[in-house]
């Protein structure tokens, strides 16, 4: 169980700062400098006065503000080093005192372990650079580009694009905060390079920026930084709009639709983005993106109670899936994933039997590590289908699996779905299987 004592946490943070002889402004400047060193957007560009106000709120006994995940990492990196620059993580260190302060603020043991892991990985490299920056050869190439923009060739961009793909492939396996730190310098490089005139391979650079910004938006959403996520998706949409093939912008918009839906529950805003995605998808070359756009639009319609519109969008998605080709550069969306959307739409339409069959097929196919977050989502939807079919015990059995997946991946959407399923199970709250479920939810998702 997590216990909080915010006043004690605020007092410890103040003690740490004052022990180093720092004013609020000094700490704010140190945090911004650390953010710039580690390329942690958007804090690297925040004004010192703004950070100073945030620091003051942490130390106020009457304020409810506590350090968010980005600030937690920066504080950890800062206090892991002594004033002389040495590494000190053990008992009696400032780092240990910081972790105590964060615990008092309510930071979970799991998150504390993540911070320790991130700092240790940073310490094993040259001042933490290897955790987050591209390879040395790529760094050297990027340094030379501002002097001679023509040096930004296909090879350099290709290496950066491979890095983005590698980071994306780790979703569901590696903590989202660490993926953000790995992606941050690539995002910053894209921003700087796009400002240059007469740059080589500009179209490829825009493709890279689109992929990097879109992934950054997804990661910001997963770490509950929805304002930053919205900004990154706007950047990704703007970059993709410069590309002739509208499949790229459609891909950004389908992802943005789902993030908007799950971050705000604003169906109208999500529907507007989904409609724009389908328009772009039909102007693009990718049938996989077209199918996904229709599937996402179907889900939004189903959630809004528009069963007929949802059925029409699903029918278009299934017809498009039949046209998929193995060489589609946007491959990854297929009939197995569409079954998940089909089943969810059936759930909202009240057809539990259809929903169960579709969702069961989807879950059975989502076996790869990169599918873990999606498997957690679909497993919870399948659990609800079993509940609607009158089998609460079978529903709970599936939820146990979904909880384990969600605890491992940290996925925000499956966690939301688990809360929804638990709400629907309230009539059985006195059953033994519900007591076991609540214990599992607490131990795996709340008390960790």
435 token code pair: 């007591």
Average of per-residue pLDDT across 244-271: 97
Cβ pair 335, 320 in contact under 8 A: no
Domain segments of the chain: what residues?
6-128, 133-243
Angle at 51 between CA 413 and CA 121, to 5 degrees: 60
Cα(431)–Cα(365) distance, integer angstroms? 32
Residue 132 has pLDDT above 50, yes or no: no
Residue 135 has pLDDT above 90, yes or no: no
Q: Report the pLDDT value the prediction gives residue 144, as an integer from 0 to 100.
A: 55
Cα(183)–Cα(164) distance, integer angstroms? 7
Residue 26 has pLDDT above 60, yes or no: yes
Cα(251)–Cα(258) distance, integer angstroms? 11
Average of per-residue pLDDT across 199-225: 90
Cα(434)–Cα(329) distance, integer angstroms? 45
Least confident window among 45-59, 134-148, 346-360, 366-380? 134-148
Residue 131 has pLDDT above 80, yes or no: no
Q: Report the pLDDT value the prediction gives residue 129, as an integer from 0 to 100.
A: 42
The highest-confidence range among 200-214, 292-306, 395-409, by mean pLDDT, is: 292-306
* pLDDT tens readout for residues 331-351: 889 999 999 999 999 999 999
- Confidence class of residue 128 from pLDDT cuts 50, 70 and 90? very low
Residue 127 has pLDDT above 50, yes or no: no
Average of per-residue pLDDT across 206-233: 93
Alpha carbon distances (Å) from 129 to 8, 69, 191, 239, 294: 33, 19, 20, 28, 42
Cβ pair 399, 418 in contact under 8 A: yes
Report the SS3 class of residue 283: coil
Burial of 250: CB neighbours in 10 Å, binned 0-12, 13-18, 19+: buried
pTM given for the model? 0.74
Residue 124 has pLDDT above 60, yes or no: no
């Amino acid at each position: 169980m997590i216990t909080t004592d915010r006043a004690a946490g605020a007092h410890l943070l103040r003690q740490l700062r004052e022990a180093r002889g720092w004013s609020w402004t000094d700490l704010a400047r140190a945090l911004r400098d650390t953010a710039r060193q580690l390329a942690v957007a958007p804090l690297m560009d925040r004004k010192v006065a703004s950070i100073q106000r945030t620091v003051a709120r942490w130390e106020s006994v009457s304020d409810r503000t506590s350090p968010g995940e980005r600030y937690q990492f920066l504080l950890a990196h800062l206090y892991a080093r002594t004033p002389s620059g040495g590494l000190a993580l053990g008992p009696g260190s400032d780092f240990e005192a910081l972790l105590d302060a964060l615990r008092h603020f309510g930071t979970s043991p799991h998150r504390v372990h993540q911070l320790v892991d991130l700092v240790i990985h940073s310490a094993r490299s040259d001042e933490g650079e290897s955790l987050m920056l591209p390879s040395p050869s790529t760094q050297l190439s990027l340094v030379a580009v501002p002097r001679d923009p023509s040096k930004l060739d296909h090879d350099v961009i290709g290496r950066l694009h491979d890095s983005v793909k590698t980071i994306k492939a780790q979703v569901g396996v590696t903590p989202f905060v660490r993926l953000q730190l790995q992606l941050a310098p690539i995002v910053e490089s894209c921003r700087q390079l796009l400002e240059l005139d007469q740059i080589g391979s500009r179209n490829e650079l825009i493709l890279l920026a689109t992929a990097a910004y879109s992934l950054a938006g997804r990661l910001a959403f997963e770490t509950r930084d929805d304002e930053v996520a919205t900004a990154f998706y706007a950047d990704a949409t703007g970059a993709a709009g410069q590309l002739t093939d509208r499949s790229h912008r459609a891909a950004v918009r389908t992802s943005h639709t789902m993030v908007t839906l799950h971050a705000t529950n604003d169906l109208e805003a999500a529907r507007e983005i989904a409609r724009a995605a389908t328009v772009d998808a039909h102007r693009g070359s990718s049938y996989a993106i077209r199918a996904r756009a229709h599937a996402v639009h179907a889900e939004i319609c189903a959630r809004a109670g528009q069963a007929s519109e949802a059925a029409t969008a699903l029918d278009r998605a299934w017809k498009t899936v039949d046209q998929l080709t193995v060489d589609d550069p946007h491959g990854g969306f297929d009939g197995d994933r569409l079954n998940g959307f089909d089943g969810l739409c059936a759930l909202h339409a009240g057809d539990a039997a259809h929903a169960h069959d579709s969702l069961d097929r989807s879950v059975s196919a989502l076996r790869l590590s990169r599918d873990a977050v999606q498997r957690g989502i679909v497993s919870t939807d399948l659990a609800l289908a079993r509940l609607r079919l009158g089998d609460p015990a079978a529903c709970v059995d599936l939820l146990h699996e979904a909880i384990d997946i969600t605890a491992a991946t940290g996925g925000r959407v499956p966690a939301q779905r688990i809360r929804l399923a638990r709400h629907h199970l309230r009539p059985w709250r006195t059953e033994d299987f519900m007591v076991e479920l609540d214990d599992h939810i607490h131990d795996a998702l709340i008390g960790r």
